[in-house]
Chain A
Amino acid sequence: MRLGIPHTGNLYIPFRAMFERLDIDYVIPPVNSQRALSLGVRHSPEGLCLPFKLILGNLIEATEAGADTLLMVGGNGICRLGYYARTQEQILRDMGYNIEMVTLGVSNHKLFGLLKLIKQLANNAPWLKIISAFRFGLAKMNALDRIERRVQKVRAVETSKGTANRILSKAVEAIDRTDDYRMLKKIEADYTDQLNRVSTDDEAHPLVVGIIGEFYVVLEPFSNFDIESELGKLGVEVRRTTFISEWTKFSLFLNPLGINEKDRLHKAALPYLKRDIGGEGWESVGEKVLHAGKYDGLIHLAPFTCLPEIVAQNIMPHTREKIPVLTILCDEQATKTGMMTRLEAFVDMLERKRRVKKISLQAVN
């Protein structure tokens, strides 16, 4: 059995760490590229969202590279995503590839389901080995996300644009290569230190913009034209609540104990949206309500035709809490230029708003 997985941000790194430790034969498809997108688009039914098409592209490339078993997420009651695995399996089989699809359930029995699945794939290796491999993968994930959070702050104020990103790619590569806990800790400390020493403009007061919206397009830079880097170039500090390490921490560990981080968001959204509508719709409305007055603006990312986000997009303008929100739809037809034009106009507007507010406050005083 040779296992192939699709891409979502840096998720391949913790998975690779687990597979290496458990001696699972695996293949990681090339990172998302125009080729993956074209393959996915060509073989997908038309009205589907970008995540489906990109993931299908990844799975096709993984199969071309020799995978015969493919890992995909699924579950009930989440958005249409739960239906993808069976459709992708049919598409691949009809293309002539004789593959097995293995589904990781993300709605029920999450932690246990995940561990059981890994055990199955690892040829029934002992539990201790599985848990140890899982913990190592998790450690890499947490390290990556911690570094990324630091990068988000540095990108906004660095004097030489692009420095933080260069450090980030080296850090990602180093973390991917290591197979030792102590080395991992050292690498994280090392690169965090490098980031702290990047020369920054001390006079800068960057705008703070939150990124909200659908899980996949928020996390996968190829699908959103690496919007966070672009915002960094424009001198904007990006804040995000969606991180895979956060999702893992809550979904797998704390939610079963009854602690739900999303309760805060849901409570904030209640006057406008009383129930869960699937995907991240409820959370998007809640984030707008919570961050109004704290951040300067929000960027709402959604794949084209993502219904929970469309419902959120329709409800958001009518909240009492006001904050500028720019919705960017991610789709195979979108161009980077189109996004940049909107982004630049949005940032200009936010800066102007801030200037006007400052002047009016000074006038009052």
Chain B
Amino acid sequence: MIRIGIPRALLYYQYYPMWQTFFEELGAKVVVSPKTTQAMLSAGSSRVVADTCLPVKVFLGHVLALVDKCDYVFIPAVRSLKNDIYNCSKFLGLPDMTRAVIPECPDILDVDIDVNQGMSKINRAIYRLGGKLTRNPFRVRRARIAAEEADKNYLSLMVSGGLTPPEAILNLTGLKNSPEVISPMPVQKPVTGAVSPMSVQKNGITIALIGHPYLVYDEYITHRLIHRLQQAGCRVLTPEMLTSQELETAVNKLAGRAYWTYEEEVVGAGGHYLNSDVDGIIGVMTFGCGPDSLMMDMVSRQATRLQAASFMSLTLEEHTAEAGLVTRLEAFTDMVYRRKRSRQAICV
């Protein structure tokens, strides 16, 4: 049976159920890399120049973890999903860069996805991709339909069910054959670092996290940010819990016409949550990301104008020590809690 490796990084969080369904329907076995670890990040970093952005280093670490475990690695080059709205360069250069810096990598399946070139080109690309596994084009068509169905379920689990991508993936794949994970899941160690005493119980604060899913849901990069916030008693909202309609409206309102494919996760979610009744917004980005700097700047200016929710931008990079992150989180949640309490006191 052919094994297709999918790195648990970058587009995994958005499209995994779709891809898994597609490949399994065509009779392949899907192999996913384990959750990010220090060793994987170091291995990935060692292959590229220092100023490559962190998500790419993590991605390469995941590819390295798949090296002897599969026959092909699936790395699509997603250029554009809507007319005139393009994706960050790293997605476009990913297959070729991986090939160059990881020569021992198994064959890379790279598909070009660019709606500006017309749907027929994308269709041909998908059939070519399926053709690697089966000669029957009808089977490819069926697999594609099943994959699109899986994607719809995935999105609805997150939007209506309020699940985060990892939870939704677990939910969905629990129904079918679960993806083979290379090594056993690391034991969940208890969250270290003091937790502010006043927020041990549910404190009624809602914090929205905005940022790309490959950052927000990677527990290693963010030092288990979502878990920490939940432990501190906050309710956490993320961009995946919004419909694409809401996100698009918010982007158009805040920034005018969208420019980047993944602008919705930052500007769209930020704009939407600023106008809802969340108490605080945390923007998660990595050092050196120009688009994120621009987008966070836009959201932060709007937050200043509206004076509604508190906004904090969290810049992560590979040297982020936990203590620094914990301190900032505590200070932020304290501030948000105090602000809310004093507002409620005034209202009463």
- A47 and B288 form a contact (CB under 8 A): yes
Assembled-state Cα–Cα distance A310/B51 (Å):
7
The reply on A362 being an interface residue by CB < 8 A is: no
The reply on B49 being an interface residue by CB < 8 A is: yes
| Contact digits for A272-297, partner B, Cβ 8 Å, 1 yes 0 no | 11111111010000000000000000
CB distance from B298 to the nearest CB of A (A): 7
Task: Give the segment of B1-9, B10-18, B82-90, B147-155 that binds chain A.
Answer: B82-90
Assembled-state Cα–Cα distance A347/B84 (Å):
43
Given A314-B101, A318-B103, 15 further pairs, Cβ under 8 A? A45-B293, A45-B294, A47-B289, A49-B290, A83-B291, A84-B294, A87-B294, A87-B297, A87-B298, A272-B100, A274-B110, A275-B77, A304-B288, A307-B89, A307-B290
- B298 and A80 form a contact (CB under 8 A): no
- B290 and A80 form a contact (CB under 8 A): yes
Assembled-state Cα–Cα distance A87/B293 (Å):
10
The reply on A76 being an interface residue by CB < 8 A is: yes
The reply on B292 being an interface residue by CB < 8 A is: yes
CB distance from A32 to the nearest CB of B (A): 20
- B93 and A277 form a contact (CB under 8 A): yes
- B293 and A48 form a contact (CB under 8 A): yes
The reply on B296 being an interface residue by CB < 8 A is: yes
Partner of A314, one of B80, B100, B259, B294: B100
Assembled-state Cα–Cα distance A273/B110 (Å):
12
The interface residues of chain B lying within 8 Å CB-to-CB of A80 are 290-291, 294
Could you jot down 13 A-B contacts, CB within 8 Å? A49-B290, A76-B85, A76-B259, A87-B298, A272-B96, A277-B92, A305-B53, A307-B290, A310-B48, A311-B90, A313-B49, A314-B97, A315-B96
Q: How many A-B residue pairs have CB under 8 A?
A: 111
The interface residues of chain A lying within 8 Å CB-to-CB of B288 are 47, 304-305
Q: How many residues of chain B have a CB within 8 Å of chain A?
A: 43
CB distance from B94 to the nearest CB of A (A): 8
Q: Which A-chain residue is minimally distant from B49 (CB atoms)?
A: A313
The interface residues of chain B lying within 8 Å CB-to-CB of A281 are 89, 93
The interface residues of chain B lying within 8 Å CB-to-CB of A84 are 294
Chain B residues numbered 61-82 whose CB sits less than 8 Å from any CB in chain A: 77, 79-80
The interface residues of chain A lying within 8 Å CB-to-CB of B291 are 80, 83
The interface residues of chain A lying within 8 Å CB-to-CB of B112 are 275
The interface residues of chain B lying within 8 Å CB-to-CB of A313 are 49
Partner of A311, one of B93, B110, B255: B93
> What residues make up the interface of B, taking CB atoms closer than 8 Å to A?
48-49, 51-53, 77, 79-80, 84-86, 88-90, 92-93, 95-97, 100-101, 103, 110, 112, 116, 255-256, 259-260, 285, 287-294, 296-298, 301, 315
The interface residues of chain B lying within 8 Å CB-to-CB of A318 are 100-101, 103
CB-CB under 8 A for A305 and B259, given A273-B96, A274-B95: no
- B89 and A279 form a contact (CB under 8 A): yes
The interface residues of chain A lying within 8 Å CB-to-CB of B255 are 86
Partner of B53, one of A276, A307, A317: A307
Assembled-state Cα–Cα distance A79/B92 (Å):
12
Chain A residues numbered 77-106 whose CB sits less than 8 Å from any CB in chain B: 77, 79-80, 82-84, 86-87, 90, 94
Q: Which A-chain residue is minimally distant from B287 (CB atoms)?
A: A47
Q: Which A-chain residue is minimally distant from B53 (CB atoms)?
A: A307
CB distance from B57 to the nearest CB of A (A): 11
Assembled-state Cα–Cα distance A298/B84 (Å):
34
Chain A residues numbered 237-284 whose CB sits less than 8 Å from any CB in chain B: 272-279, 281
Assembled-state Cα–Cα distance A120/B103 (Å):
54
The reply on A46 being an interface residue by CB < 8 A is: yes
The reply on A329 being an interface residue by CB < 8 A is: yes
The interface residues of chain A lying within 8 Å CB-to-CB of B85 are 76
The interface residues of chain A lying within 8 Å CB-to-CB of B90 are 307, 311
Partner of B49, one of A49, A82, A314: A314
The interface residues of chain A lying within 8 Å CB-to-CB of B95 are 274
The reply on A308 being an interface residue by CB < 8 A is: yes
- B294 and A83 form a contact (CB under 8 A): yes
CB-CB under 8 A for A79 and B89, given A48-B294, A310-B49: yes
Q: Which A-chain residue is minimally distant from B285 (CB atoms)?
A: A47
Assembled-state Cα–Cα distance A275/B91 (Å):
11
Assembled-state Cα–Cα distance A317/B292 (Å):
29
CB-CB under 8 A for A273 and B93, given A47-B288, A76-B86, A318-B100: yes
- B101 and A45 form a contact (CB under 8 A): no
CB-CB under 8 A for A310 and B52, given A94-B301, A275-B92, A277-B89: yes
Assembled-state Cα–Cα distance A46/B92 (Å):
24
- A83 and B100 form a contact (CB under 8 A): no
Partner of B301, one of A90, A304, A311: A90
CB distance from B85 to the nearest CB of A (A): 7
- A311 and B97 form a contact (CB under 8 A): yes
The interface residues of chain B lying within 8 Å CB-to-CB of A272 are 96, 100
Assembled-state Cα–Cα distance A86/B293 (Å):
13
The interface residues of chain B lying within 8 Å CB-to-CB of A308 are 89, 93
- B89 and A47 form a contact (CB under 8 A): no
Partner of B256, one of A45, A86, A273, A277: A86
Interface centre among B53, B93, B95, B292 (most CB of A within 10 A): B93
The interface residues of chain B lying within 8 Å CB-to-CB of A276 are 92
The interface residues of chain B lying within 8 Å CB-to-CB of A273 are 93, 96
